[in-house]
């Protein structure tokens, strides 16, 4: 379920409908954290254990309202066979941040994108944005994105003290969190890598995909 704004682009409303249709599922995984993979050097170079927001690149749909417009920290939340994925294309070191730290009662959740990448059209990605209520980021998202019901949306929901995310083959939910994240005291774990093992800087979505492209 979503709450729109008069400033939200028409294509984004339609894109959300496509995402909900493709991701319709009765199955969810209980989750307790967001995970982020980066090369090991990224974590050793952090100042005061703080992951700072970075400008959103041009990956995904080129019309995505946050591309080049807002800063955040990217996380994954989707499980693989009900466990954290054993490898990542983004780096060999992982931190897991408890969801209760970032998705609390003051948080707001927005839909930002639904896409697949060239050469990987079997896999689709849903981008959500998580903000602190009434923050600068929240005001921006309120005007330009589609706000989701935190308790009932199909991608990532909060039911009391329990968090659930979509369980569907070849659909990955990613969360763009708009505040700093302090990882002091959190464990870093090594994982296997896929491909180059670092962020690509933004891969555009596949043109003409019947599942996730909107022609407006």
pLDDT digits (tens), the chain, 216 positions: 455 455 678 899 999 999 999 998 789 999 999 999 999 999 999 999 999 999 999 889 989 999 999 999 999 999 999 999 999 999 999 999 999 999 999 999 999 999 998 767 789 999 999 999 999 999 999 999 999 999 999 999 999 899 999 999 899 999 999 999 999 999 999 999 987 645 666 787 888 899 999 876
Task: Read off the pTM.
Answer: 0.93
Burial readout 67-84 (b: 16 or more C-beta within 10 A, e: otherwise): beebebbbbbbbbeeeeb
Q: Looking at the domain assignment, is residue 12 inside a domain?
A: yes
Specify the pLDDT at position 117: 84
Domain limits at 59?
Answer: 2-193
Report which secondary-structure segment, H or E, holds 15. helix 10-23
Specify the pLDDT at position 216: 63
Q: Looking at the domain assignment, is residue 198 inside a domain?
A: no
Query: Is there a contact between 115 and 67 (Cβ–Cβ < 8 Å)?
Result: no
Q: Looking at the domain assignment, is residue 137 inside a domain?
A: yes
Query: Is there a contact between 100 and 205 (Cβ–Cβ < 8 Å)?
Result: no
CA-to-CA distance for 177 and 157, rounded, in angstroms?
Answer: 15
Specify the pLDDT at position 3: 55
Give the number of domains in the chain: 1
């Amino acid at each position: 379920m979503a709450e729109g704004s008069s400033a939200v682009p028409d294509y984004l409303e339609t894109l959300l409908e496509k995402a909900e249709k493709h991701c319709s599922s009765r199955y969810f995984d209980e989750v307790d954290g967001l995970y982020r993979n980066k090369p090991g050097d990224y974590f050793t170079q952090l100042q005061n254990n703080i992951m700072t927001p970075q400008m959103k690149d041009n990956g995904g749909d080129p019309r995505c309202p946050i591309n080049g417009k807002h800063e955040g920290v990217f996380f994954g939340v989707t499980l693989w066979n009900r466990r954290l994925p054993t490898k990542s294309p983004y780096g060999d070191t992982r931190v897991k941040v408890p969801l209760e730290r970032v998705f609390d009662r003051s948080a707001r959740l927005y839909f930002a994108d639904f896409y697949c990448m060239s050469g990987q059209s079997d896999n689709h990605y849903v981008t959500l944005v998580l903000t602190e209520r009434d923050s600068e980021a929240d005001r921006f998202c309120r005007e330009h994105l589609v706000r989701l019901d935190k308790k009932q949306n199909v991608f990532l929901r909060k039911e009391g003290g329990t968090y659930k995310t979509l369980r569907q083959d070849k659909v990955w939910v990613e969360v763009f969190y708009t505040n700093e994240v302090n990882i002091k005291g959190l464990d870093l774990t090594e994982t296997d890598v896929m491909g180059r093992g670092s962020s690509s800087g933004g891969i555009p979505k596949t043109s003409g995909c019947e599942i996730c492209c909107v022609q407006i």
